Amino acid sequence: MAQNSKGIETAEIITDQCMGCQICVAECPVGAIEMMEGTAHIDPELCIGCGKCQEVCPVSAVRFEKTEKRLEADKEIKKTTKSLQERSDVAVYIEVREGRGAEVSWELVGKAHELAVKGNGRVIGFLLGHGIHHVIEEAVAYGCDEVTSSTIPFSTAIPQKPSATP
């Protein structure tokens, strides 16, 4: 992609596609486009890289990669957003008692499963602690589609106040 001396990505006219309609000339906010021999030409040193010329060209005679990348990114964002809007995952904290998942957690996983089915989502279980791999298997057996675990002890995650000595 073309850049000017300021490092700004600039648009380029594909001269054999330009039909000379001058719409881009009128749209350019800085007057960087002029007509020469019936086709538009962009002065890269004046171009600010806004992409307005590409947006208005009726015959796609303007090449501007930044706009093309932005349009592709917008499509991907819309697709992802639509996918997320169509799906409602449900998260459940799985309590561990005496090395096993607490019964109340499995009841919550069951309810979460009902909600996830209605929302076209998944049940995600969260576990904290050491030596809980067998609880992960238990969570999957009770209906979690995904289980995330962490072994970070709370005492190191939260700064402790210094103890005062008498």
Mean pLDDT across 41-68: 87
Q: What is the pTM of this model?
A: 0.42
Instruction: State the pLDDT at residue 130.
Output: 74
Q: Which residues are paired to 97 by β-bridges?
A: 100
Q: Are 18 and 41 in contact (CB under 8 A)?
A: no
* For the chain, percent of residues with pLDDT exceeding 70: 80
Is the pLDDT score of 67 beyond 70? no
Mean pLDDT across 7-27: 92
What angle, 0 to 180 degrees and rounded to 10, lies between the N-to-C axes of helices 103-118 and 133-142? Answer: 50
Domains of the chain, earliest start first: 12-81 (3.30.70.20), 87-157 (3.40.50.620)
Instruction: State the pLDDT at residue 51.
Output: 86
Task: Report the helix count and the strand count for the chain, using DSSP H and E.
Answer: 6, 9
Is the pLDDT score of 54 beyond 70? yes
Mean pLDDT, rounded, of the chain = 83
Lowest mean pLDDT among 67-76, 93-102, 112-121, 152-161: 152-161
Instruction: State the pLDDT at residue 163.
Output: 55
Q: Are 146 and 109 in contact (CB under 8 A)?
A: no
Instruction: State the pLDDT at residue 2.
Output: 76
- The predicted-structure confidence for 72-81, as pLDDT tens digits, reads as follows 766 777 776 6
